[in-house]
Structure 1
Amino acid sequence: MARYAIIVGTGSGLSAALARAAAADGMKLVLVARDIAKLAPLVAELGARAVACDASEAAGVARLFAVAERDFGVPELVVFNASYRARGPIAEIDPVEAEAALRNSALAGFLVGQGAARLMLGEGKGSIFFTGATAGVKGFAGSAPFAMGKFALRGLAQSMARELGPKGIHVAHFIIDGGIAGTRGARAANEDDVLLSPQAIADTYLNIHKQHRSAWTHEIDLRPWNESF
């Protein structure tokens, strides 16, 4: 079977850069999104397989990994890149929105991580990566649901790393501490100074995927060079 990666939560920006970086490294790709019509240009560019899946639904995730295993074997790399934002004062946030944030970050991350682990455990190798955010280490005012989801995702990654690392599976959590270029509409004049390059982030993911197991990174934070923290 060919080497391949699964990217869950594929769109433009970071996930597209990850797909291109993995393809350049020789991996086949399974690109996952609720709406795969939007992925048509990227699928054509990379010769990828697109799979429609709601990652917060257990049955859908189970089908995703069953199809991937049947057609491609065990993935070398699985990246969970899905997320959900709900903003507003704590007294006004709709509980439905808070639940959606938890389902699409915490629960979806669990389901994807579990599905990837079930396949990789038989091989005793592979990488499972989670895309986090500043909100996973620092909850901001007016953004409680997003922080809840990202904090939970970070805890999931820590637990999985401690369980699966000794079994040969590399679990890593990436704190994207800033905005990503190309995801905020028109290009800003100083974009290179204030936003992260999606290509540079993708390179970091691939470099960590290739690490020797004697020196694995579990968590890394990435931010623009001139950002205070």
Structure 2
Amino acid sequence: MNYKNALIVGAGAGLSASLARLFLKEGMSVALAARSAEKLAEFVAATGAKAYNCDVAKRDEVEALFAALDKAGEAPDVVVYNPSFRVRGPLVDLDPAEVEKTLAITAFGAFLVAQQAVRRMLKKGQGVIVFTGASAGVKGYAQSAPFAMGKFALRGLAQSMARELHPQGIHVGHVVIDGGIRNARRPAEPDKPDALLDPDAIAQDYLHLIRQPRSSWSWEIEVRPWVERF
């Protein structure tokens, strides 16, 4: 498929930046959406990507984001949903408002973004939507119930969408990131240089998923460092 326009939602440093750089290198235009687009100014200036403000938990802001992309002639062929929020602690001590926020950002926002994207992709009969999952989407950890709730819901959304939309030409993928991602605040240990996931390597996995021939589409892949236990 000849995809031209990519949208990365929940953009920031790390994986989103790696994805943006790779997509731009592959000749796609790239739009980045974040609650504060100002924080992306340096990256935008360096790469030529465009940045938009969007709180994914708010329906009107998601609709405004896609309307702006339509106006710019850049309705996305590829959408990557990257936002997440988590609150940890014993179940009895959790703040319900923080739990609600976790679900809104991690799962409900994914639905809002996917709905807008699919409405446009169906008209073309093609497109790709990739959701960034986590270990918490397949196994709930102690004192991490809200994050598990959000990521389980995200995985369910992706699977349901894949079953519905693959036959209509829209490729839906869910990537389980099972391990820590290397970043500036979490550098690799000198004696274990590849014990953390390299965001550039993850981006290559996303690109492979996006480019899969439709005769062999995956709806889910897992990525983990070779030393990570299952």
Is the TM-score greater than 0.5?
yes
SS at match of 1:220: strand
**Which deviations, in whole Å up to 9, do the C-alpha atoms of 1:26-54 show, x marking residues without a partner?**
00111000011110111112101100000
* Separation (CA, whole Å) in 2 of partners of 1:90 and 1:43: 40
Aligned to 2:194: 193
Pairing 1:1-229 to 2, within 5 Å after superposition: 3-182=4-183, 184-190=185-191, 192-229=193-230
- Percent same amino acid at aligned positions? 53
SS at match of 2:93: coil
User: In terms of mean alpha carbon deviation, does 141-150 or 178-187 score higher?
Assistant: 178-187
Gap change, CA 1:43 and 1:190, over 3 Å in 2 = farther
SS at match of 1:72: coil
Shift of 1:67: 0.9
* Separation (CA, whole Å) in 1 of partners of 2:92 and 2:111: 28
**Which deviations, in whole Å up to 9, do the C-alpha atoms of 1:128-177 show, x marking residues without a partner?**
00000000000000101000000000000011111111100000000000
Normalised by the length of structure 2, the TM-score is 0.96
Normalised by the length of structure 1, the TM-score is 0.96
Gap change, CA 1:72 and 1:183, over 3 Å in 2 = farther
- 5+ unaligned residues in a row in structure 2: which ranges? none
SS at match of 2:122: helix
Shift of 1:186: 4.8
Shift of 1:190: 4.2
- 5+ unaligned residues in a row in structure 1: which ranges? none
SS at match of 1:63: helix
* Separation (CA, whole Å) in 2 of partners of 1:187 and 1:212: 34
CA contact (8 A) 1:31 1:48 kept: yes
Shift of 1:189: 2.4
* Separation (CA, whole Å) in 2 of partners of 1:214 and 1:41: 40
**What's the C-alpha RMSD, in Å, of the aligned pairs?**
1.3
Gap change, CA 1:50 and 1:190, over 3 Å in 2 = farther
SS at match of 1:193: coil
**Which deviations, in whole Å up to 9, do the C-alpha atoms of 1:173-194 show, x marking residues without a partner?**
0000011000644553245332
Shift of 1:69: 1.5
